[in-house]
Structure 1
């Protein structure tokens, strides 16, 4: 009897193993055994199931019928068909076996409740463009062909995977609304790389929820190289965290950033803002952009202490030949950023020429993403700089001139927002493109950095850039037409003969002394809206 029970137990064990192998054979796939990818990229074998995903996804894009496409505009779809395979960058969250992924975008949860997936693939057709720009996202699940066809998926028979196009929630019924497709198209676009993490983790593994499993596929034959990213060790936390460091230097209020408004002195000042959002969207090129603009400002008389830089989660500094590294504040400190701008704009005779450089990931409505402070992939108010807030911060600005240089996607929306604005009479906005265009290749920033600002008005610089731009259509708008016609440091243009270097240094570059009487008269004027 005892031997019978033992034999029975062995048979049951064999049957259990057999049933597992038969029902879920895909768990044994070894193309993605190690899901934690600490090196920042993913390098799968050429014959992996993930490589089959890439082939299926690219074939899908190449065979799009643009008159029927609903996840973007017909114009954008036609442009997409002209992008060569070698221009694409591929991102993948590799096959997860018996586990599943949850996926979120900055503005919404992409996967529905109880509908997680076993793989995520992203094709990025414009890896040199600033986010947000169109990316095509696919979900992968192990399903039979009948179910896959029923769900309008792409069936890959080698491993039995089914690929479906990821859609934002507001596009749920877009397929049925062909007559209103154009109205929904831009809102349906996925413009950011999703944040992908393992679902249903126990409380003891909560820290792993904030680990992004979506990685760029390095060295994938036939596709573009992965963008150069900042080192992972310097992007995991805020460089200046007020809770961790417990110092005045790291508070989120005005104590973090000292605003230089000295009595009887007026100066040129600048604020450089590059949000970044997360490591994947803030490559090293954005830090180079900041360095080039900082160098341009220093060359044109802006004092080091009068240039404040807010970058991603912070950085060790901006390096310019011949100078000590310039301190960089985290863009995540939104309150300090806004307080600094407001203080300069509300202080009479503080600023002559105020230059604001914006180079952040952006939504189509002009909202700028700063930094994902809690690393959950979803953007809350403290992590976004709204266009409405930006307009409020520089409304009725007491600076003599305000030059806003915007090199980010959909920058035309910001320019349009200031057109003929009575509250922004001394503001001029120079945008890298129209309201529906992406910002490509950092070419707008490069042109501004190398332009001759000694004699040329900012308007002239913008006109030259417009003639040189290859992929976008730079545009500009101002609060009151003709109010701002100066160089970037506030000097008049078209002066004949041109100013000498001595005249520029004495009268326009950096800081100038103000007569005591003029200061006092302005300070106590009843017409001054920011009177102390």
Structure 2
């Protein structure tokens, strides 16, 4: 009996060093110790000019975070004894800094998962979010924690020994764009070629940061649901509250346009009502929501509703406003807006844009509002429909496809309101484009991540000039394609002139510009005959 009591006492003393606790969550004290050590480990390190776990501005901001509330803390649930977890990212996965990372060949390569390779497995995953509640993507800090690791084995240039045989490893995104950057002008002259060989590899250019919350699954059971959750800790920011989504009716099945099954008996997006003969209308496409339920916040639904109400006030008809939000689960915003489609219908989005842009006189003003998560190369993440944590081709909308859909659009003006992270890749391509003469990109100079952008444009009035609305404020900028006239912004949202003499009354503005207008039959046939020779060529 005495020997049994001694054995139980010894087991209770040895319990803090065990691989996994018995509960469904790690203790708050243990996670707080991990988060404090991780934050200190990154804050005391010198901020590199490029590369590293965070961009230089966010790296410098960590010192200020350590003086006040720390970042929000996410941690994985403990796995069963002997099991480990893996972190899956939509644009790749995390790997150890300084590891063997293959360079991507193009901008979209970072979103492709190499075949036959699995991300590393660890005992726990820790994520620190310096901007909790902001729209993704934005820089995060991802760490792996391994148990039963000796101090000698853990201590290295990148790893940190936490005590109690716990080892912390910072992570970066693997297979990121321009991981190996070549210097320009290497091939000019023999001496330059030899110098180029010596300097073939430069440090990363800062595009390898983690931008999204990973999907953490059990390595032995990859179909297990998300094991990463936010934990409220003293001294750290409180957890952001996701938007509760209302599940749709079971009779309404998810149906893509490329499927022809019995349950896809009806088309969810009524395309035939978008363009009518002898009539031109104002059209809008709204895409918002998070990448998953965990990162879909109330401001996504709020922004969608604000922009919808502004469009309706400016004369856009309800049937010409196509909204794509989250998954099949629709929030309360659908009650006020009517029919809201899930963002999983990528083919429906592209088909609708193609219909509006390729049809003559279909659209006068075409407005696009994008408020979805975005990768560092500008790729829009729609929704993780198959719940595998990886952005598959049907779940992402690259800017190359967006520009293809808007190329040589027959709308009189295309106004693209970009309310998401990393707008510069799209702006750069639009500036150099010669195939988008009627496209204007309106973006924030600094991404707000909340509702500031939508609230600003919610105040646009039907008689207010777009240029007049932008200039007095300053934080928003417009990007025009090559050869595009600034007169595209010198009108109202519906296309009415701003400074007509005599001034245009409200009744005349509604009749001639807002909503839909009937076209003369001669104008329709004349433009139709002009288009037919081009199609024959």
Cα pair distance change 1:233/1:428, threshold 3 Å: closer
CA distance in 1, matches of 2:380, 2:251: 18
CA-CA distance at 1:392 after TM superposition: 0.7
Report whether the alignment pairs 1:334 with 2:337: no
* TM superposition shift of 1:324: 5.0
2:209 aligned residue: 189
For each residue in 1:48-92, what CA deviation from the matched residue of structure 2 results, as whole angstroms up to 9, or x when unmatched?
x22211111222233231147623333442244334542621111
Instruction: After TM superposition, give the deviation of residue 249 of structure 1 in Å.
Output: 3.5
Give the one of 422, 432, 447 matched to 2:456.
447
1:279 alignment partner, one of 293, 303, 308: 293
Instruction: Go from structure 1 to structure 2 and tell me whether the alpha carbon gap of 1:176 and 1:510 turns closer, same or farther (over 3 Å shift).
Output: closer
CA gap of 1:102–1:21, structure 2 versus 1, over 3 A, is: farther
Q: Does the alignment pair 1:358 with 2:342?
A: no
Aligned length: 484
1:492: how far off?
1.2
Of 179-188 and 72-81, more deviation after overlay is shown by 179-188
Counterpart selection for 2:280 from 266, 289, 303: 266
| Maintained 8 Å contact 1:259/1:340 | no
Aligned residue in 1 for 2:379: 367
Could you tell me whether the CA contact under 8 Å between 2:74 and 2:228 is conserved in 1? yes
Counterpart in the other structure of 1:515: 520
Q: TM-score, normalised by structure 1?
A: 0.81
For 1:199, the equivalent position in structure 2 comes to 219
Distance (whole Å) between structure 2 residues aligned to residue 140 and residue 214 of structure 1 = 14
Q: How does 1:369-408 map to 2 (within 5 A)?
A: 369-408=381-420
SS in 1 for 2:394: helix
Q: Structure 1 residues 267, 333: closer, same or farther in 2, change over 3 A?
A: same
Is 1:248 matched up with 2:265?
A: yes
Deviations 1:427-474 (A, max 9, x none): 1111123xxx54432311211112334222x23323344x2x4xxx64
- Deviation of 1:216 (Å): 1.3
Per the TM alignment, residue 370 of structure 1 is displaced from its structure 2 partner at its CA by 0.7
Equivalent position of 1:311 in the other structure: 325
Aligned to 1:123: 128
Structure 2: how far apart are the matches of 1:24 and 1:246? 53
2:360 aligned residue: 348
Distance in structure 2 (CA, Å) of the matches to 1:73 and 1:165: 15
How far does residue 19 in structure 1 lie from its aligned partner after superposition?
11
CA contact (8 A) 1:133 1:191 kept: yes
Which segment is superposed worse, 419-428 or 477-486? 477-486
The answer for unaligned runs of 5 or more in structure 1 is 1-10, 36-43
Q: Determine if contact 2:253/2:263 at 8 Å carries over to the other structure.
A: no
Partners of 2:301 and 2:368 lie apart in 1 by: 16
Query: Who is 1:40 aligned against?
Result: none
Equivalents in 2 of 1:237, 1:407: separation in Å? 33
Instruction: State the distance in 1 between where 2:181 and 2:524 align.
Output: 65
Q: Structure 1 residue 34 and structure 2 residue 24: aligned?
A: yes
> Paired residue for 1:145, among 131, 142, 151?
151
Alpha-carbon distance in 2 for matches of 1:173, 1:426: 32
- Provide Cα deviations, 1:499-527, integer angstroms capped at 9, x if missing partner: 21111111111111111111111122247
Give the alignment partner of residue 55 of structure 2, picking from 48, 62, 73: 73
In structure 1, how many angstroms separate the alpha carbons of the residues matched to 2:54 and 2:71? 18
1:235, 1:455 → 2: CA distance? 39
What do residues 171-199 of structure 1 show as CA deviations (whole Å, max 9, x unaligned)?
8998999x999862322111111110111
Question: Which residue of structure 2 aligns with residue 505 of structure 1?
Answer: 510
Aligned partners of 1:291 and 1:318 also within 8 Å: no
| CA RMSD after TM alignment | 3.6
TM-score by length of 2: 0.81
Instruction: List gaps (5 residues or longer) in structure 2.
Output: 96-116, 183-198
